Chain A
Amino acid sequence: MKIDAITKLEKADISGMLVAIILILVAVLALWDTTEMTDADSFVFPRAIAISMISFCILFIVTQMIYPSIEGNDEARVVGGSTTRRIGLVLAMVVSSLLMPWLGFLVSGVLAFGSIMMLAMYDEWTLSRRLLFPFAGIVIVIGFYFMFAELLLVPLPVGTLFE
């Protein structure tokens, strides 16, 4: 019996169940937030969705406990490669976005581009690459800046440091 339970647990979609538990908590939080709403027009729809989500999550967890199976996009589940580079990319995007109001779009854009370029580099930094890639990066950033700010008239932040 104990071996059976262990085998079942090994076959079960643990990460899927973990996400389902987190989403149940999210739905409960949403339900709690709807208690402050007075107009039925505001809470009927989100409540119905939150309750449905809780039901589907519970159904998924129960199904996994009875008939454990890992289904879904198997290819996407394989986590290979460098986690450091992954985290680096996300940090570069978030930090440069947060710095945008102070440094302006152009400077923070160049910083983001440069740091992500370093993270995505797998070839050797030859002299030609050392010269060409940063130059091309600066041209791309300035090109997009010009296109958005001047042609499409998007008010990109100049940066409080430079005002």
Chain B
Amino acid sequence: MIENLLQALTLFHVALALGGVIAGTVIGSLPGLTATMAVAVLVPITFSMPPASALILMGAIYTGAIYGGAYAAILLNTPGTPSAIATTFDGFPMAKRGDGDLAVTLACLASVVGGIVGAVFLLILAPPLADVALAFGPVEYFWLAVFGLTLISALSKGNLLKGLIGACLGLLLSTIGVAEISADVRFTFGSEVLLGGIETVSALIGLYCVPVLIDLVATSDKHLKVTHAPKGFRLIEALQISWTHKFNLIRSSVIGTLVGILPGAGGSIAGLVAYSEARRTSKNSDTFGQGEPEGIQATESANNATVGGGFIPTLVLGIPGTPPDAVILGALLIQGVRTGPSLFAGDGSIVYTFIFGLILATVLMLPTGLVIGRYAYKTIITVPKAMLVPTVSFMTMIGTYSIRNSVSDVVIMVILGVVGWLLNRAGYSPSPIVLGLILGSIAEQGFVQAWTIGSATDNLIGMFFGRPIGMAIILFIAATFFYPMIRGYLIGMRGNPNED
């Protein structure tokens, strides 16, 4: 192990890790460019490298891109990558009230902690944890999606019914296009443009960013409130907050690692589940969604922990845990590395050098993330509105186009933006719609597959309610739903000491 550690610390590997983190952070910060795209675009560079070096570079790009998504989420209310959706919930309100620099630093610290926890799990517990991935069937995925949907109560901003209506709209939007299981064409009304469905990232950009732009262009007000001249990183303040909420960081990182292990789940679900748990257990649950630092910590630590978590099934089972892992798996196959249970025994030096390299890249993310984040914040608050609005509008357009090379996606993005703006005016928050849109396909696929298996085995009830992991998730769902009521009841029973 020491030999692998030293190999990971060679100048070449340090340079690769640093370059990868910087490239990934920059690409991830651009709305529309996902971590998958960042890894896919830069993969050809790795073909001429030894496998361990290639893995370090790809891991660094991946982890940097996941973190980079936080900048746009915090400063522009646009998740740079889908993993940063829940970062917008508290990140943008923090930036609006003048704490954008603190939010960026908090996100950086949380990402580093999450990334390290994920990598340590990968180092120590990879083979046994890979079995967890195999224990997850369709019904568990269905309940996991439902668990994600319980966040609606937190995101409804005062009206649960409106949140539920918004989530239904999002779920309905997710069913547009060719059905994944039966291949029926649904809700396209003869339009070829809708055959591929509504692209999630372009919908995110539309629903979150376009309404901000529409309001930004309408008045001469500043984009973000500036309460103080940007000096330093506010690192001490961020460290104090992080230390105060250390259990939130660790819990969210573990959640991120475990969700990362599940093939296809990814950083967005990890962030949402961790956010939901952080809110449920926090003393400040009422301030979530209004600029609560704990919300940013939960999301950012969880989404970066999926990097290490996702590598567990990828390397141990040959099943990619997240979409970027699929690209990395392909690159490894081209290099002649056979992933699977024998990899840790046969090519252990490659794997362990890579894991130490991943930890190195995550640690390097701290200085690079802080510096890039500081300049991103300074740029956003100092650039004149006449430059900021067209630049961000142009970025949303080129970013959306680049996802599927489709002009139609850009038009759909703008239309969704206008719809989101109108719905916001009527008191409907865009977050439940986005939640439905993201979780819709996972929920439907899990539900239909579980239903089919349950019907075929004549055990429908047992299929949905008789599996241990499924039941554990159901308990969490119930706890998330009923905890605020129980807490309110208990507080009421104890009585308010300020009264009388």
Contacts and interface: CB of A to CB of B under 8 A. Distances in A.
A111 to B, nearest CB: 11
B287 interface: no
13 contacts: A16-B427, A19-B426, A41-B452, A42-B186, A44-B448, A53-B165, A81-B218, A90-B418, A100-B401, A114-B390, A119-B389, A145-B398, A148-B398
A25 interface: no
Contacts of B488: none
Contact of A97 (B159, B184, B410): B410
A82 interface: yes
Given A46-B175, A49-B175, A97 B397 contact: yes
B179 A98 contact: no
Contact of B165 (A23, A85, A119, A144): A23
Nearest to A57: B165
Given A71-B159, A73-B424, A116 B393 contact: yes
A100 B397 CA distance: 11
A140 B394 contact: yes
Interface stretch (B115-123, B208-216, B255-263): B208-216
A15 interface: yes
Closest 5 CB pairs of A and B: A72-B427, A81-B218, A53-B168, A42-B184, A120-B389
Contacts, number: 220
B227 interface: no
Interface in B179-194: 179, 181-182, 184, 186-187, 189
A155 B175 contact: no
Given A63-B161, A85-B217, A94-B411, A44 B451 contact: yes
Nearest to A19: B426
Interface residues of A, number: 82
Majority SS of interface residues in chain A?
Answer: helix
Contacts of B451: 44
Contacts of A52: 164, 168
Interface of A: 13, 15-16, 18-20, 23, 26-27, 30, 33-34, 37-39, 41-46, 49-50, 52-53, 56-57, 59-60, 63, 70-73, 76-77, 79-83, 85-86, 88-90, 92-94, 96-98, 100-101, 105, 109, 112-114, 116-117, 119-123, 129, 133, 136-137, 140-141, 144-145, 148, 151-157
A50 B488 CA distance: 33
A134 to B, nearest CB: 10
A83 B41 CA distance: 41
A144 B398 contact: yes
Given A15-B426, A46-B172, A94-B414, A72 B394 contact: no
A69 to B, nearest CB: 9
Contacts of B5: none
Given A27-B172, A109-B398, 5 more contacts: A39-B179, A53-B172, A71-B158, A89-B214, A120-B386
Contacts of A73: 157-158, 424, 427, 429
Nearest to B414: A93
A74 to B, nearest CB: 8
A97 B210 CA distance: 15
B281 interface: no
A102 B11 CA distance: 49
Interface string B420-463: 00111111110000000000000110011001100000000000
Contacts of A117: 386-387, 389-390
Interface in B7-62: 27, 33, 37, 41
A122 B320 CA distance: 50
A7 B33 CA distance: 50
Contacts of B382: none
A72 B388 contact: no
A21 B461 CA distance: 35
A92 B254 CA distance: 45
Given A16-B426, A50-B172, A144 B394 contact: yes
Contacts of A19: 422-423, 426, 428
A77 B427 contact: yes
A122 B386 contact: yes
Nearest to A50: B172
Nearest to B216: A120
Contacts of B171: 49
A50 B167 CA distance: 11
A41 to B, nearest CB: 4
B402 A123 contact: no
Given A42-B179, A49-B172, A72 B157 contact: yes
B384 interface: yes
A154 B402 CA distance: 6
B282 interface: no
Contact of A30 (B172, B405, B422): B172
B479 interface: no
B169 interface: yes
